[in-house]
A and B are shown apart, each in its own frame.
Chain A
């Protein structure tokens, strides 16, 4: 069973910047000594759309396929099938040079600020690199742009020539954001971009991302496992479980009225800050639902696979 794209669009934005349709990524597990080869569908017919300027949350636990979905959109991992429409054009049909140009508009910020920056490059060179790759501007113009980006993300221009190890985790993530913004993209895929940071630093980086969203009209695909954070900053959210979106909708409606058994179990497991709040754990019974059930409307702008 596949999801009906009409119903997805009904619950989504009218003119999406990004639209993902029936995206599938399967990995073949090679045959072992005693084991025949098998196919794992890491992303299984995922469809969603993100409107211009929207912060869209994609949540799930480890192994749910949320990061693979993000990477498939940029074709950092080549999807097995499906469509990824960016401004109405299917980027999966693009040639390599065309795809490279398209990536000016679609950038990614990775989770780990330690491994995602080259330790042997100076901060200014890390931020400048995308401009060089895409042959943007003269050397002087690029240098000015890097300085502008530094102040845009709240980094001290005196630190331009420092190496990554001389920055704290939060500052490194700002370098990663500056690098992603260098080419003036329309879409940022933030793959657990603040998960590795301490909460006070996380709050600062999230605030920066929200400011940039307003200032630069950025659209975000915010991939995260932290439900409290997503509830707080995303306007719409999709919940992934074992490669499929099991529930999607307006953040307020989804958190107030979780409908899919997995969403219910997930939300009930989030620790609450009030020690006296009644805790009602909903255990997950994988037998209680059929993984093949398509999404259907369960409320205004709210879909669930029930």
Chain B
């Protein structure tokens, strides 16, 4: 794909222990076009979150990229100096975490946290913009809410506040790591609707990491299935959900309760 926004090529990540080395991400390649949503699915330990952290160079030692390229807007992020990387994180690529309560600063007002994202990247009018962003997230009474602390917000509102922080600088790509996993299903539906709306509005590309094929079916354009550090299958969402070719994808889909594929629960 020549016009890819993000082009990950042969990425490998290893964690070196005292006696052995674990390859958490093993020769992973995928592309995301502008405005496109790629769903990265897998079970716990499959390496999907490590992939996201490697893209943003947020891996903690002993984790380390051992091979590969991460081309974003044509530049390899892995060889960028740290200063240049800081200009990309939160501005061009931002991250949404699973658990908003631990990702947000508990002793800082929500509005200040949104404004911080803007100030760090040298934008002006941060405060007014924070209110605007909360409004865009459909948070009622945004003028008052910017002065709230995270514990004063419900789970769904906290996740919206986190999305507001992620979108503050108009990034081209948002990496969302299990963004709705901690939420009740009615709140999950609202957050997915919001992501879909924002994606269209800002032509946002989304790398959505999840273990839930339901979430994938709701929002992804393409899907990559990860297992033990490798992508075993990737393709358009309809093809993967309706005609998976890899055995592992079939097993995963069959394990989803109520899946149309012959279910192991009833057969």
Contact = CB atoms under 8 A, between A and B. Distances in A.
A37 to B, nearest CB: 21
Interface of A: 61-62, 169, 198-203, 206-207, 210, 225-229, 231-233, 265-266, 268-276, 279, 281, 284
Contacts of B255: 199-200, 202-203
Interface of B: 43-44, 155, 184-186, 188-189, 192-193, 211-215, 217-218, 237-238, 241, 251-260, 263-266
Contact of A273 (B155, B193, B211, B213): B213
Contact of A232 (B155, B241, B263): B263
A206 B189 CA distance: 26
A15 to B, nearest CB: 28
Given A229-B257, A270-B214, A272-B218, A200 B43 contact: yes
A83 to B, nearest CB: 30
29 contacts: A61-B185, A61-B186, A198-B211, A199-B252, A199-B256, A200-B43, A200-B252, A200-B255, A202-B255, A203-B265, A206-B257, A207-B264, A207-B265, A210-B265, A225-B184, A228-B257, A232-B258, A233-B265, A268-B189, A269-B185, A269-B186, A269-B189, A271-B185, A271-B189, A273-B213, A273-B241, A275-B217, A275-B237, A279-B218
A199 B265 contact: no
B228 to A, nearest CB: 13
Nearest to B220: A275
Contacts of B237: 275
B211 A199 contact: yes
A37 B264 CA distance: 51
Contacts of A284: 186
A116 to B, nearest CB: 18
B265 A206 contact: yes
A275 B214 contact: no
B43 A199 contact: yes
A281 B258 contact: no
Contacts of B215: 271
A103 B9 CA distance: 58
A228 B43 contact: no
Contacts of A202: 255
A228 B265 contact: no
Given A225-B185, A271-B185, 20 more contacts: A61-B186, A169-B44, A199-B212, A199-B213, A199-B256, A200-B251, A200-B255, A206-B265, A225-B184, A229-B258, A232-B258, A269-B186, A271-B192, A272-B217, A273-B213, A273-B258, A274-B217, A274-B241, A274-B260, A284-B186
Contacts of B43: 198-201
A153 to B, nearest CB: 17
The residue in A233, A269, A284 that gathers the most chain B C-beta atoms within 10 A of its C-beta is: A269
Contacts of A200: 43, 251-252, 255
A203 B264 contact: yes
B171 to A, nearest CB: 25
Contacts of B211: 198-199
A226 B185 CA distance: 8
A274 B214 CA distance: 8
Contacts of A281: 189, 193
